[in-house]
């Protein structure tokens, strides 16, 4: 054997040994992780902490409907939908079959180079635009949510450059918002931790306070109120200079603080943007594809942006895909004889296998009355949590729209830090067989959109008991 052949044989032997080490039967018998042998670096905390508070038997191996199962056979109601992306639940044979068919016929075609995208990708683009909020006429595909937002932010600046306004470079976001994990999207987010993990942020990013909805007559319907929900945004724009602002980016419902916008605020922002000349971007990576009880948050509130970013539920979680829907004037700004083209993209954007999954998922959402179910089950869950947690002083107001709801944990004298409390609540719920999301001081819940009435009852009961076991 040549040296190259010997190396290849040794590599294959190493691969076989790795496969054997992680065989289901052997893993199920281990009681703790071997830090030195664990190969995967994942999550957003230190690996030693993650491995120490778990064990190999908790590794997930299968899912069905709204439930997942670990290697030890324990079943969990997945009330975080994977990562808010398993919109239609697990084991969807229709989606899997469509992906397999596409993979057999044409597993790849590139949309950022050459002139021959896959027919499947073009057809899904047409389907998505047909269902999009009014005024959004074109779509550019990405491979994940952060890439969708990154595209939108870059696009907003280049849009103004092509319009002869290169000075419009500032992007404004809401405090406590979250827009992604790439360098630009993380820097554009509004949480305090951003300053720690992005010590040298890119320039021309500004944060504005979350609107004071409760003080606004238009948001509350109370004419005795005297506030203005756009006052903080106007002040931020004025401080920068209206002619310097490229875009304002907003989540129709902020996941972290579980804070929905209002129709009045979004309408007012749209009117302000038109008057002053900047673009409005909706970050619907989380809220898109049925999460709020309509295809998009823009659909739910009845107000369309100039640019809409999406991902997560677009394929119901079965394959990576993101989308950036744009209004015609945005598209046309990049399709003139003069001006710069839009250069951002990656090889796997608009992957045909992902688009095949997304097409089936989109039709299923309408055929199976998923949006109505999200509204009904969301209302059931919020009502149940409010009743079950009414006497718990550690639980703040429970808010939600559709199947995205949650609450803030309040600091009590002598209690552990809020972050530690929410982490313990997540662990307690897991022990009871339900998976929830915790983010800082918030517990956030977003089960698959196909959750039924009985499963919602189970969800509420276990969450109430899990919270009670930690906070009482």
Q: Looking at the structure, tell me whether residues 264 and 216 fall in a common domain.
A: yes
> What pLDDT sits at residue 419?
80
Q: Average the pLDDT over 80-92 and give the result.
A: 97
Give CA 222 to chain center in angstroms: 33
Q: Distance between CA atoms of 394 and 401, rounded to whole angstroms? A: 22
Q: Where residue 43 falls among pLDDT bands split at 50, 70, 90? A: confident
Q: Which of 310, 337, 367 is the last residue of a domain?
A: 367
Q: Based on the domain organization, do 144 and 293 belong to the same domain?
A: yes
Same domain? 351 vs 390: no
Q: Which of 352, 357, 366, 364 is nearest to 315 (CA)?
A: 357
Neighbours of 332 (CB within 10 A): 14
Q: Answer yes or no: is pLDDT of 451 > 90.
A: yes
For residues 398 and 418, membership in a common domain is answered with yes
Among 284, 240, 54, residue whose Cα is nearest residue 152: 284
Average pLDDT of the segment spanning 271-277:
98
Q: What is the pLDDT of residue 142?
A: 97
Q: What is the 3-state composition of the chain as percent helix, strand, coil, each rounded to the nearest 5?
A: 45, 15, 40
- In the block, residue with structure tokens 């409005």: 280
Average pLDDT over residues 283-308: 98
Domain match, 412 and 457 both: yes
Judge whether 81 lies within some domain.
yes
247-262: average pLDDT:
95
Query: What's the CATH code of the domain at 218?
Result: 3.40.640.10
How many CB atoms within 10 Å of residue 48? 10
Does residue 122 lie within any of the structural domains? yes
Report, as an integer, the average pLDDT of 88-117.
96
Please state the pTM of the whole predicted model.
0.96
pLDDT at 253 over 80: yes
Token couple for 120: 């499947």
Q: What is the rounded average pLDDT of the residues 24-29?
A: 80
Domain containing residue 430: 59-88+369-471
Q: How many domains does the chain have?
A: 2
Q: Is the pLDDT reported for residue 89 higher than 70?
A: yes
Q: Does some domain include residue 171?
A: yes
Question: Within a domain: residue 12?
Answer: no
Are 363 and 376 found together in one domain?
no
Same domain? 322 vs 227: yes
Co-location of 386 and 324 in the same domain = no
> What are the tens digits of pLDDT across the range 359-397?
999 999 999 999 999 999 999 999 999 999 999 999 999
Domain shared by 375 and 363, yes or no: no
- CATH no. for residue 416? 3.90.1150.10
User: What's the mean per-residue pLDDT of the chain?
Assistant: 95
Both 311 and 166 in one domain: the answer is yes
In this predicted structure, what is the pLDDT of residue 416? 64
pLDDT band at 414 (very low <50, low <70, confident <90, very high): low
369-373-376-378 Cα dihedral, nearest 10 degrees: -140
Mean pLDDT of 206-221: 97
Confidence of residue 113 (pLDDT cuts 50, 70, 90): confident
pLDDT value at position 199? 86
Q: Are residues 361 and 373 in the same domain?
A: no
pLDDT number for residue 418: 81
Q: Kindly state whether residue 255 falls inside one of the protein's structural domains.
A: yes
pLDDT tens across 308-353, in order?
Answer: 999 999 999 999 999 999 999 999 999 999 999 999 999 999 999 9
**Structural contact between residues 309 and 118, judged by C-beta atoms closer than 8 angstroms:** no
Percent of the chain with pLDDT over 90: 84
pLDDT tier, 440 (very low <50, low <70, confident <90, very high otherwise): confident
Closest of 388, 414, 404, 417 to residue 447, by C-alpha: 404
Q: 453 in a domain, yes or no?
A: yes
Taking 70 as the threshold, does the pLDDT of residue 75 lie above it?
Answer: yes
Give pLDDT, residue 415: 66
Answer yes or no: is 121 within a domain: yes
Which of the two residues, 199 and 270, has the higher pLDDT score? 270
Burial class (CB in 10 A: 0-12, 13-18, 19+), 278: buried
Q: Residue 25: is its pLDDT beyond 80?
A: no
Residue at a domain's end among 307, 338, 367 = 367
Task: Please identify, among 367, 384, 399, the residue that sits at the C-terminal boundary of a domain.
Answer: 367
404 and 319 both lie in a single domain: no
The answer as to whether 83 is a domain residue is yes
Instruction: Dump strand ranges (E) for 155-241.
Output: 170-174, 205-208
């Amino acid at each position: 054997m040549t040296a190259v052949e010997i190396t290849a044989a040794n590599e294959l032997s190493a691969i076989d040994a790795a496969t054997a080490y992680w065989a289901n039967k052997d893993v199920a018998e281990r009681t703790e992780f071997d830090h030195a042998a664990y190969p995967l670096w994942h999550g957003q905390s230190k690996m030693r902490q993650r491995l120490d508070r778990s064990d190999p038997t908790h590794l997930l191996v299968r899912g069905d409907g709204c439930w997942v199962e670990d290697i030890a056979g324990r079943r969990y109601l997945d009330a975080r939908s994977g990562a808010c992306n398993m919109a239609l639940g697990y084991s969807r044979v229709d989606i899997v079959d469509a992906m397999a068919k596409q993979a057999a016929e044409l597993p790849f075609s590139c949309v950022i180079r050459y002139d021959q995208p896959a027919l499947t990708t073009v057809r899904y683009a047409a389907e998505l635009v047909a269902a999009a909020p009014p005024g959004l006429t074109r779509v550019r595909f990405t491979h994940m949510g952060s890439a969708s937002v990154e595209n939108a932010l870059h696009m907003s600046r280049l849009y103004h450059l092509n319009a002869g306004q290169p000075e419009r470079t500032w992007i404004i976001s809401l405090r406590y918002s979250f827009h992604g994990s790439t360098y630009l999207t993380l820097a554009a987010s509004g949480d305090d931790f951003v300053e720690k993990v992005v010590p040298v942020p890119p320039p021309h990013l500004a944060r504005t306070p979350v609107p004071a909805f409760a003080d606004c007559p238009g948001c509350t319907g109370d004419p005795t109120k005297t506030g203005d929900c756009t006052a903080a945004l106007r002040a931020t724009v004025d401080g920068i200079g209206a002619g310097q602002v490229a875009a304002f980016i907003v989540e129709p419902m902020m996941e972290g603080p579980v804070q929905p916008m209002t129709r009045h605020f979004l309408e007012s922002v749209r009117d302000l943007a038109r008057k002053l000349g900047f673009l409005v971007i909706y970050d619907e990576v989380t809220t898109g594809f049925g999460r709020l009880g309509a295809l998009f948050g823009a659909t739910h509130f009845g107000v369309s942006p100039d640019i809409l970013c999406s991902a997560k539920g677009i394929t119901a979680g079965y394959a990576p895909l993101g989308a950036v829907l744009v209004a015609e004037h945005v598209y046309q700004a990049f399709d003139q004889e003069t001006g710069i083209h839009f250069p951002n993209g990656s090889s796997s954007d608009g992957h045909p296998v992902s688009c095949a999954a997304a097409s089936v998922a989109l039709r299923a959402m309408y055929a199976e009355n998923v949006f109505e179910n999200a509204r009904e089950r969301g209302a059931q869950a919020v009502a149940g949590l409010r009743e079950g947690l009414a006497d718990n002083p550690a639980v703040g107001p429970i808010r939600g729209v559709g199947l995205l709801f949650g609450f803030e944990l309040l600091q009590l004298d002598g209690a552990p830090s809020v972050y530690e409390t929410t982490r313990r609540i997540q662990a307690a719920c897991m022990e009871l067989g339900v998976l929830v999301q915790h983010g800082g001081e918030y517990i956030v819940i977003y089960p698959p959109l196909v959750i039924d009435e009985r499963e919602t009852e189970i969800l509420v009961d276990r969450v109430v008991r899990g919270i009670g076991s930690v906070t009482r």
